[in-house]
Amino acid sequence: MQFPFGLLFSQSFEANEVGEEKMDQLNSGGVRVGVIEHKAYARVGLLGNPSDVYYGRTISFSLANFWASVKLEPSDDLVIKPHPVHDLVQFQSLHHLMNRLQNEGYYGGVRLVMAICKVFFKYCKDNKIDLHKGNFTLSYDTNIPRQTGLSGSSAIVCAALDCLLDFYKVRHLVKVEIRPNLILNAEKELGIVAGLQDRVAQVYGGLVHMDFRKEHMDELGHGIYKPMDIDLLPPLYLIYAENPSDSGKVHSTVRQRWLDGDEFIISSMKEVAQMAAEGQAAILEKNYSKLAELMNHNFDLRRRMFGDDVLGALNIEMVEIARRFGAASKFTGSGGAVIAFCPNGPSQVELLEDACRKAGFSIEPVKIGPSRLIDIDAKTMSR
């Protein structure tokens, strides 16, 4: 059942009233009561990607170096505020417009926020979850670099969903395992093609092993997600391009080949998925030489499946610049950024940092985001 945006964003949600609250009071400090703000971090696929969309397994973590934040303020009307940079519609000149489109693309975050509102509303309606009639104003901000494969779009959606859960006080009624599906469905509304891995990492936070095997997906509607101790990971480094516009542009045929039963693609995806299972054991044992081996093999298999034209010369150079100094490296996602591990320590890191600067790449130590789950979330999780 589809709900037109005109209905969704009129005076209020068309939902059952369970007691309207007065939410626009000011406290003694002049701050509006009921303001809700949530932050969702960028995401790094450590092992197993892209097998999440092929009934595989992955290990991912939230990247606290970058984040998106969404603020919800109770208001008389329902308002989605455009971002002053990412949703710009007024320009100084045609040249300014062209530069903006080249660097930011055609779409900002307003459409993402609207889409999760629609998906959230429909989910609640379908599952007989009552929503009060209060209205709100949603605004967002983000510092996640664009086109870097760090899941900037889903971070905005994730933070917005958390705001909606708290505003309507239904966090206890929406299972944690289901929330990544809602985020993915919102992005599908906009034609964004992606998998669950990114959304799981951003909903849970921290380090998560994810099992998307078909039997789980068919029976539960989601995978089996197991948080891991972030302190088990060695120091890692993020490499990314400031201007990734010349990354891969050629459309991949891997998905269609997998659907057509291509034996090489099917066997390779199974092998990539197995790396996440082996990686889970390696991380638990702090077997970092095995972790480095798996990271390199993950990328090498991806390269054989997708081909250099799809991956893009700039993306491949980021991986190879790390390997020239003996570091393990692979994509964080679909390209645009690379995660690197320097098993030989600080001297190796210094060489890599110098080489990245000379090549025009940014490099910085990884900060792993903490778990985003609170007690009320844990109570909704499957046992």
Catalytically active residues, by annotation: 198
C-alpha 152/C-alpha 67 separation (Å) is 8
C-alpha 21/C-alpha 374 separation (Å) is 24
Q: Note the helical H segments in 131-262.
A: 152-167, 179-189, 197-204, 214-220, 254-259
Can you say how many angstroms the Cα of residue 367 is from the centroid of all Cα atoms in its chain? 16
C-alpha 139/C-alpha 68 separation (Å) is 11
Decide if 9 contacts 136 (C-beta within 8 A). no
C-alpha 269/C-alpha 257 separation (Å) is 12
Decide if 160 contacts 113 (C-beta within 8 A). yes
106: exposed, middle or buried (Cβ count in 10 Å: 0-12, 13-18, 19+)? exposed
Which value, in Å, is the radius of gyration of the alpha carbons in the chain?
21
Q: Is 373 helix (H, G, I), strand (E, B) or coil?
A: coil
C-alpha 125/C-alpha 344 separation (Å) is 55
Name the token pair of 326: 């003996």
What are residue 77's phi and psi, to 5 degrees?
-115, 160
Decide if 39 contacts 67 (C-beta within 8 A). yes
Interacting residues of 72 by C-beta distance below 8 A, sequence separation 6+: 35, 36, 37, 136, 137, 138, 163, 164, 166, 167
